[in-house]
Structure formats: C-alpha cells, structure tokens
Structure 1
Amino acid sequence: MKMSAKMENALPPVSKYHQPLLLRLVLGLCWWMVHILFSIQHVVNQILQAVKSYFISILLVQRYWDLQLHKLRSLAIVVDSKEARNTLKVKKLLSWLSRIGVKYVTLYDMEGILKKSLAESQGDLPNGILHKDRMMIELLSFIDSKEGIAKAASFLCNKYLRDELGNCEGKDLSITESDISDTLNVIGFGGPEPDLLLVYGPVRCHLGFPAWRLRYTEIIHMGSLNSMKYGDILTALYEFSKKKQNYGT
C-alpha cells in the first residue's frame, strides 16, 4: 500500500498532459472561426461588388457614366500570360475601353502572347502600335523591357566613356534620372507613362511592366480576366478621376 501511494505521488497530474492538447484545440478553434469570418466577409464583398457592377452597367448609377477622362492621357493594361491566351476576352476589353473614350492603351503580358496574336491578325505593326477605332494600342512584353534596359545601358556606357575621355578637368560624371529618360526616348523605348494601370490576373503586381514608366502611375488589381465586368472598369476609371495626385517638388 505504501509502495502504491509513493508511485501515485511520483506520477505527474493528468492535467499537465492535457494542457498542451487543450491549448492547441482552443487556438485551432479560434483560427477556424477567424478564417470563417474572413471568408464570409470576402464572399459578401464579392456579392456586393457584383451587384454594384450590374447596376452600373444598366445605367442605374448615372455618376459612373459621367467620366472626366481629361486626366487619363494613357491607360496601361497588364494581363497574366495564362489569361492572355483568351484573346476574345482581351478584344472585348479593348472594345469596352474604346466605347468609354480611352485614347491610348498600353497592353502588356510577360510572354508577348497578345503582341504575337494581335500582330498575326493585323499584320505588321510599326513600333508595336495598333490602331483600333479612335484608340491607339501599344503592345509590350517582358522582352521589350529587357531589350530596352540593355540598349539604354549600352548607350549610357558609351556616352560615359566619351565624356570621361573628353573630361580634362577630372570632374565626376554622374547619370541622372533625366539622362535615363532621355536615353530611353532616343533608343525608342520611352513611350508615355500611363496614368492608370489595371492588372488582370491572380497576382497583385505589374508582372515586369517597364518600371521606368510607372513613376506616378496608379495601380489597381482587377481580378481575373475571365470574370471582368464593364461596371468594374467604369468604377476604376471613376475612382481614378476623383483622386488628387501630388507629385512633390
């Protein structure tokens, strides 16, 4: 009896074994509840956005149709390469933008799928520019960005070496932002800087769009190209038209 009493005293309390398990269960339950709440909120937001887009599309929300596009000199569209294969959707998107009154669109995907498919349907495109109705469409891919950087670097390197050889006073030579911008324009890779960039795809980034053309660009993620809606485009353009941009000094 004494031996068994000692053994019972030597054994740790049962609750010590159950505390970590109970804590994990409580934390797991809290995490599950938080996940459910965020999922419900996301679904509700998606439904509200779809309803709002529908009402905008059928002209029930008039203010979204009174767009002031004087601030939108250039619009850029970035499409994920997998979704860019759906050329019918892309052409429909361009048709909507033309109907809204956008004058200049830069269309970009990393692999150049859109550039290739539209070039095949339209023939040779001088400087990658396509004219559709009253809208100009510039076609870009990641190769254009890479080639632009390489040519700009080569041009600036040669210019730097010439200036260094002709610099008798030994002054320090530096490359400014304006030098880079001028160089890109000289070699034909400048182009207009888009005021607004719409991203279609699963990721929220510009997917390699030429960074030197995004200094003051507003970027909006529009979701999947397959689920694009006319009302969503009107909403994005309307919200952009109401924004005040401060460029600094």
Structure 2
Amino acid sequence: MQIYWSSMIVELILGLLWYLTHLLISLFDLWSHLSNCLECYLISSELLPKYRNLHFERLKCVGVVVDSREANNILKIKQLLRWLSTIGVKYVVLYDIEGVLKEFVGAGIEAPKDGISRTYLDPSAHGGMAIECISGSDGKEGIAKAANLLCPGFCNCDTHGHKLSGNALTEADMACALRAVGRDGPEPDLLLVYGPVRCHLGFPAWRLRYTEIMHMGSLKSMKYGSIMKVLHRFSQKNQNYGK
C-alpha cells in the first residue's frame, strides 16, 4: 500500500511538472507572437526609427518561394508584389514547385525579348519591376538540357567552346552550359520562403550560390513589417562570398 501511494504521488508530481512546462512554453509562444505582431505594426506605422530610411543598394534581385498549396492566394501574391515594388526592388523571381503561379499570372504574361522561355509579368503593372515566374519543371528541364550539352563535350574534353580541365567537371562548366541553354538567370540576393518547412522547396540550386534564405512562415500570415525586418537584417550583413 505504501509503494502504491508513493507511485501515485510521483505520477502526480510528474504530471503537474509536465502541465506546468507546457503552460510556460505556451505562454512564451503567445508572448513571442504578440510581440512580433506589435513590432510589425510599429514598423508598418513607421514608428520605429531604424526601419525608416533603409538603403538596399545590394538588393538587386529578390526570390519568392511559395508553397503550392498557398500559391493560389492571388490577393496575397499581388499584395506582396506591391510591397516589394514600393520598397524599390527591381527584379523578382516567383517560384512554386507545381507551377500554380504561372497559371494565375498568365493573363499578364509578356513575351520575353531575348527568346528564352521564361514567364514574365508586365513590368508596367508593378512600377517597372520585372517579374520572372518559374516552377519545379523549369529546374528539371534546365538541368537536363545542360547535362545533354555537357555530356558530348565532357567525352570530347570540350564543352561549348569551354575547355574542360582533365576529367573534372567544374562549376564554370555547368554555369557555361546553363547559360547556353538559357537557364542561368539572375541569382537572388535574398530568398523569401513562404511555406510550412524551412527549405527552398526545389528552387534551382545553381541560382542560390550566394543567396540569403529567410523563412517567412505561412503566406496567409504575411505582414509588411516582417518583410521590413528581414530586409533590415539583410542590410546589416556583410557577405564575403563570391568576392
């Protein structure tokens, strides 16, 4: 009987500790969420001085990755593009793995002048901001074409006018092949990922060599303040890679 009561007391104490820990974690998560919402509101209202006059000279291109299950939220996508245009971004690469974004931007597609099969929105609709739309199939097709171009060149030790060093396939060889098939494209300085997981969701890896990747959470909870926070953090970083 004494052992039974002792085990009951131990179970009760452990249960109380478990619920107390769970309560503390829940309160901390709630506090973090509320403080983040408050900070985003203050940033949007321009009440925080450090977020008022930001300079984005290094920000030439921004990539936006959207989970395909949220990519059909047209209003959120358009709002995000308006915000980026207002901030001063000149080039945006939109990506979702299933190509949902290509479907909803189809009405505003402008034929590319360089003959390369990329999908663009009319820049005049977003203050002159160029918008490129790609999907997972573009990445697969691009790497397949580059591999087909490299294969005979690799066997003959010559790839599209670029000499291979020995039997080693270098990054320069791959970049040359991707450029030849029109799949190189600009490399985003910053990649904003809207989705449930912290990864680039299949965005072409050869365009992410020196890219800062930021996970932004769900698209439906997108906030202007959170974008400004990320851009401020990006402006404070010093990149030494690629120099």
Under TM normalisation by the shorter chain, which class is it? Answer: 0.7 to 0.9
Q: How does 1:20-169 map to 2 (within 5 A)?
A: 25-119=12-106, 121-126=107-112, 127-130=118-121, 131=123, 132-163=126-157
- Does the CA-based 8 Å contact 2:119-2:134 persist in structure 1? yes
Offset of residue 140 of structure 1: 0.9
- For normalisation by structure 2, the TM-score amounts to 0.86
More helix by share: 1
Amino acid at match of 1:181: A
- Does the CA-based 8 Å contact 1:155-1:183 persist in structure 2? yes
The unaligned stretches of length 5 or more in structure 2 are 113-117, 159-164
Matched, 1:201 2:195: yes
Q: Note closer, same or farther for the CA distance 1:245–1:21 as it changes in structure 2 (3 Å cut).
A: farther
Q: Give the one of 221, 225, 245 matched to 2:239.
A: 245
Q: Deviations over 1:7-29 (max 9, x none)?
A: xxxxxxx4556666665554444
Q: Which residue of structure 2 aligns with residue 167 of structure 1?
A: none
Amino acid at match of 1:86: N
Offset of residue 89 of structure 1: 0.8
- Does the CA-based 8 Å contact 1:64-1:234 persist in structure 2? yes
Offset of residue 104 of structure 1: 0.8
Q: In terms of Rg, which structure is larger?
A: 1
Alpha-carbon RMSD: 2.1
Paired positions, count: 229
- Does the CA-based 8 Å contact 2:157-2:166 persist in structure 1? no
Q: Which residue of structure 2 aligns with residue 9 of structure 1?
A: none
Q: Note closer, same or farther for the CA distance 1:102–1:17 as it changes in structure 2 (3 Å cut).
A: same
Distance, in Å, in 2 between the alignment partners of 1:23 and 1:152 is 65
> What secondary structure, in the 3-state scheme, does the structure 1 residue paired with 2:63 have?
strand
Distance, in Å, in 1 between the alignment partners of 2:142 and 2:96 is 16
Offset of residue 63 of structure 1: 2.3
- Does the CA-based 8 Å contact 2:146-2:177 persist in structure 1? yes
Distance, in Å, in 2 between the alignment partners of 1:95 and 1:213 is 24
Distance, in Å, in 1 between the alignment partners of 2:19 and 2:179 is 54
- For normalisation by structure 1, the TM-score amounts to 0.84
> What secondary structure, in the 3-state scheme, does the structure 1 residue paired with 2:139 have?
helix
Greater shift, 188-197 or 130-139, is seen at 130-139
Offset of residue 190 of structure 1: 0.7
The unaligned stretches of length 5 or more in structure 1 are 1-13, 165-170
- Does the CA-based 8 Å contact 1:65-1:234 persist in structure 2? no
Q: Which residue of structure 1 aligns with residue 162 of structure 2?
A: none
Offset of residue 178 of structure 1: 1.3
- Does the CA-based 8 Å contact 2:93-2:132 persist in structure 1? yes
> What secondary structure, in the 3-state scheme, does the structure 2 residue paired with 1:222 have?
strand
